[in-house]
């Protein structure tokens, strides 16, 4: 049986680690050529090497998705290296939490930049290719669907205390998703978003170290969740546990395959049954 994404070309931002890496591996396993992105060269190269070693095709486009000019370079990498663009997964991001009275303008603007402005720029950068490709395909009598999957969060659907910035950005990406589904429907582009609940990654893993941090573009960001708080959160999930990055990738994959060609403008909650 031919892989479902054979011959497709995909962009996956933030795919050197965690959920993004698993999305890239899944798409590549199903036949897509994938452009890998990460802030750091090493994890991006590792994901590329793992895909190539498994018989797939991948190249890296290292850089910060919020930087001016990145979106054009990202899209150009797909077209120059693989000759086209069929799937965009806007996954890159992180959290920078605080209660509103302590939240700085920098924290607020950083979340909007990475979770909302960056996906907008990537879609804008891809728009010229998508319009021209759709026109050529229509003239040739071909029906080709392209896919955009924006990564949201249950915080953007239901809100979450201490995440005014993140929740606002993730609610925004759901609005952008619905707008672009209407705008790009004429080009046969399905635009959907997946809102993740508790998925176990380096940002959410249990950690007794209250000072655990990672560096993101020169900014130290607190990571990890108190083990007891994590245990309580998991107990509230009907399935009884947090999700894995592989399961998160599966939810994204569903929006990338031909079976979802008539699904657009939707927000899928991937949260183990917890609202």
Q: Which domain holds residue 139?
A: 9-198+244-270
The pLDDT score that the predictor gives to residue 160 is: 93
| Integer Cα distance of 168 and 155 in angstroms | 8
In a domain, 174, yes or no: yes
- What is the number of structural domains in the chain? 1
Residue 1 lies in a domain: no
Instruction: Give a yes or no: residue 229 inside a domain.
Output: no
Structure confidence at residue 232 (pLDDT): 85
Full pLDDT tens readout for the chain, 275 residues:
889 999 999 999 999 999 999 999 999 999 999 999 999 999 999 999 999 999 999 999 999 999 999 999 999 999 999 999 999 999 999 999 999 999 999 999 999 999 999 999 999 999 999 999 999 999 999 999 999 999 999 999 999 999 999 999 999 999 999 999 999 999 999 999 999 999 998 766 655 555 555 667 666 666 656 778 878 888 899 999 999 999 999 999 999 999 999 999 999 999 999 87
Buried b (16+ CB within 10 A) or exposed e, 44-70: bebbbebbeeeebbbbbbbbbbbeeeb
CB 244 within 8 A of CB 25: no
Output the pTM of the full model. 0.93
Residue 50 domain flag:
yes
- The answer to the question of residue 203 being in a domain is no
| Domain presence at residue 113 | yes
CA distance 17 to 218: 18
In this structure, is residue 204 part of a structural domain?
no
Looking at residue 115, its pLDDT comes to 98
Which domain CATH number covers 109? Answer: 3.40.50.720
Instruction: With respect to residue 112, please indicate whether it lies within any of the assigned structural domains.
Output: yes
Q: What are the catalytic residues? A: 166
């Amino acid at each position: 049986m031919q892989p479902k994404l054979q011959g497709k070309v995909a962009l996956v931002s933030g795919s050197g680690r965690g959920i993004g890496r698993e999305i890239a591996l899944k798409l590549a396993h199903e036949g897509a050529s994938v452009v890998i992105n990460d802030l750091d060269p090493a994890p991006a190269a590792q994901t590329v090497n793992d895909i190539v070693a498994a018989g797939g095709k991948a190249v890296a486009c290292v850089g910060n998705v919020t930087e001016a000019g990145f979106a054009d370079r990202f899209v150009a990498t797909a077209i120059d290296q693989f000759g086209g663009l069929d799937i965009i997964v806007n996954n890159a991001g992180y959290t920078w939490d605080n209660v509103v009275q302590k939240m700085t303008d920098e924290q607020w603007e950083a979340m909007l930049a990475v979770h909302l402005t960056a996906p907008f720029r990537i879609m804008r950068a891809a728009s010229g290719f998508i319009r021209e490709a759709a026109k050529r395909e229509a003239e040739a009598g071909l029906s080709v669907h392209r896919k955009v999957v924006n990564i949201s969060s249950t915080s953007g659907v239901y809100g979450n205390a201490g995440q005014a910035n993140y929740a606002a950005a993730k609610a925004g990406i759901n609005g952008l998703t619905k707008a672009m589904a209407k705008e790009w429907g004429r080009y046969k582009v399905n635009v959907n978003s997946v809102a993740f609940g508790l998925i176990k990654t380096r940002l959410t893993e249990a950690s007794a170290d209250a000072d655990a941090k990672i560096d993101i573009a020169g900014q130290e960001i607190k990571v990890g969740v108190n083990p007891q708080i994590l245990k309580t959160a998991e107990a509230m999930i009907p399935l009884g546990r947090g999700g894995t990055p592989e399961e998160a990738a599966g939810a994204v994959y569903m929006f990338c395959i031909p079976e979802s060609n008539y699904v657009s403008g939707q927000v899928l909650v991937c949260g183990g049954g917890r609202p």
